[in-house]
């Protein structure tokens, strides 16, 4: 009996120890869950994937051409095909995910047309930019809402730009891009209002001017710094922050 009692005590202590280990591991992961990142094969999306994977999150990274997404695949994350302008592709993604909960959706995929003056505007380009930057996040968010409802964190982060701020626009230029991000901002406010009371936090995030294919070599920021800042903000968000506009440095931006 005495040996039996001792063994029970040892087993109990072991179980408590295992629980304590599990708790501290979870804490070190900063509340890790499942994150889905669009446009994850390069630029900021790739850096998001790298950092979330390193922090212990389950990362689902989307790419238009998974076969060519060598850097993303090298991270060992799940890579899925997605063109945010194509409803069939979006529906396929939702079907593939099935009932899987998603804690955090990062609508990151985007394009940047060059048009500084009215005569430079190519309307097909502008239409395409709105399809990717504005309607794309709307399609993806709608399709994945059931998965997000099953997630614990219920966070939706739309990657915007300071160029999408109307209050900040004193210099003009960047036709098409500015409008696409301002409309994305408005979508995010509406989404925050619609999902208020359901535990969701929906925000827009300005990553700063970052060296990527889009940002170009003159950008002052490197992707690791921008994404580390954004992750810090996302981590601290609560539903009370829903419908707000942030910079990667953790400051709120004017609309």
- Which positions are annotated as active-site residues? 177
Task: Tell me how far, at minimum, the Cβ of 115 lies from ligand NDP, in Å.
Answer: 15
Taking CB under 6 A as the rule, which mask of x and - marks residues 49-88 in contact with ligand NDP?
A: ---------------xx----------------xxxx---
User: Near ligand NDP by CB under 6 A, which window of 12-20, 25-33, 113-121, 213-221?
Assistant: 213-221
Sheet arrangement for strand 155-159: 78-81, 58-63, 34-37, 104-107, 155-159, 201-206, 244-247
Choice between 90 and 102, CB closer to ligand NDP? 90
User: Near ligand NDP by CB under 6 A, which window of 2-10, 103-111, 114-122, 236-244?
Assistant: 103-111
Choice between 23 and 220, CB closer to ligand NDP? 220
Task: Tell me how far, at minimum, the Cβ of 46 lies from ligand NDP, in Å.
Answer: 7
Taking CB under 6 A as the rule, which mask of x and - marks residues 13-42 in contact with ligand NDP?
A: -------------------------xx-xx
Residues in contact with ligand NDP by CB under 6 A are 38-39, 41-45, 64-65, 82-85, 108-111, 132, 159, 161, 207, 209-210, 212-215, 219
């Amino acid at each position: 009996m005495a040996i039996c009692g001792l063994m029970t005590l040892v087993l109990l202590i072991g179980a408590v120890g295992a629980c304590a280990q599990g708790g501290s591991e979870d804490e070190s992961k900063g509340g890790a869950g499942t994150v889905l990142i669009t446009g994850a094969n390069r630029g900021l999306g790739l850096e998001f994937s790298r950092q979330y994977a390193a922090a212990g999150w389950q990362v689902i990274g989307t790419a238009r051409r998974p076969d060519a997404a060598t850097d993303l695949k090298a991270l060992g994350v799940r890579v899925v095909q997605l063109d945010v302008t194509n409803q069939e592709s979006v529906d396929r993604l939702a079907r593939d995910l099935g009932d899987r909960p998603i804690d955090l959706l990062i609508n990151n995929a985007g394009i940047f047309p060059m048009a500084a003056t009215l005569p430079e505007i190519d309307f097909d380009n502008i239409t395409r930019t709105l399809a990717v930057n504005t309607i794309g996040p709307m399609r993806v968010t709608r399709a994945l809402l059931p998965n997000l409802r099953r997630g614990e964190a219920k966070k939706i982060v739309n990657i915007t730009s300071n160029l999408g701020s109307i209050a900040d626009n004193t210099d003009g230029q960047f036709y098409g891009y500015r409008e696409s991000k301002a409309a994305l901002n408005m979508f995010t406010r509406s989404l925050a209002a619609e999902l208020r009371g359901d535990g969701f936090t929906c925000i827009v995030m300005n990553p700063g001017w970052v060296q990527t294919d889009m940002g170009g070599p003159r950008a002052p920021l490197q992707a690791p710094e921008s994404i580390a800042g954004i992750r810090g903000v996302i981590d601290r968000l609560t539903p009370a922050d829903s419908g707000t506009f942030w910079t990667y440095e953790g400051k709120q931006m004017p609309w």
